[in-house]
Structure 1
Amino acid sequence: MNIARHPLHPALVHFPVACWSLATIADLASLWFGQPAWWLAGVLLVIGTVAALAAMGAGLFEFARIAEDSPALADARRHMLLAMAAWVLYATSLLLRLQGTTLVAPAWPALATSIAGFLCLAAAGWLGGKLVYQHHVGSA
């Protein structure tokens, strides 16, 4: 019996990607809609930042499986660095909008780090797609 290996990383990344992307949209919407939008962004940042830790752990496991001589390794390194940069930027955005454990309206630095996080996230996602569809990383 041949059981195909199904990597965990692609299944887990959907949670932080969705939460962080929606958080950035909510941040921009907060400029017009105020408290309901920035509060939602803050909650999504918490969920996405925690969920990303599991996705990154699974990603490290997949990264370790790439052969040293593989042409995918350079793209995998860039993917990992961009994903880590996104995590740092989104975590920073979250910290900038906390007073103790209370979410407060984000100032421009929190909004800017959210937008920068989204740009890193988009680039990391594009490279993740390249790893799967061009390099066939994680496929049986």
Structure 2
Amino acid sequence: MSIWSRTMKVTTSRTTNAALCVTRCPHHGSRLRQISCGPRRPYWTNYVDVGDSMPSSTRSIADAFRTTLDLFDAGLDLMRQNLRRSHPAASDEQIQMLLQQWLLERPGAESGDCPGRAIDLSARFA
């Protein structure tokens, strides 16, 4: 018995003329698999939208970038709320200034979020 189960119907891509099938694995979640190639008539499903004119890899990169920007905005909103709690008497301009200082200093991640050697950005991008 396979751990893969078909949970969604076959969808065809206009850009690649390939039939794709979405499968669900309990360990890895949903995945797209190509099950055949050849000319097919494209159509839409409720689950996977690969019938768009934009290639799916470009669309997935764009979606990931939009998600990244949305998460960054959410982080700014959370920090703004945190600063308002910490400084209840501060005006909106002061909160914005504190938020900008926080973005520049990045307490706890002064050298960046990734492991590795620190580099002097002022010398590199001057």
Q: Which has the higher helix share?
A: 1
TM > 0.5 fold call = no
Q: Highest CA radius of gyration, 1 or 2?
A: 2
Pick 1 or 2: higher relative contact order, CA cutoff 8 A, min separation 6: 1
TM-score after normalising by structure 1: 0.27
TM-score after normalising by structure 2: 0.30
Q: Which has the higher strand share?
A: 2
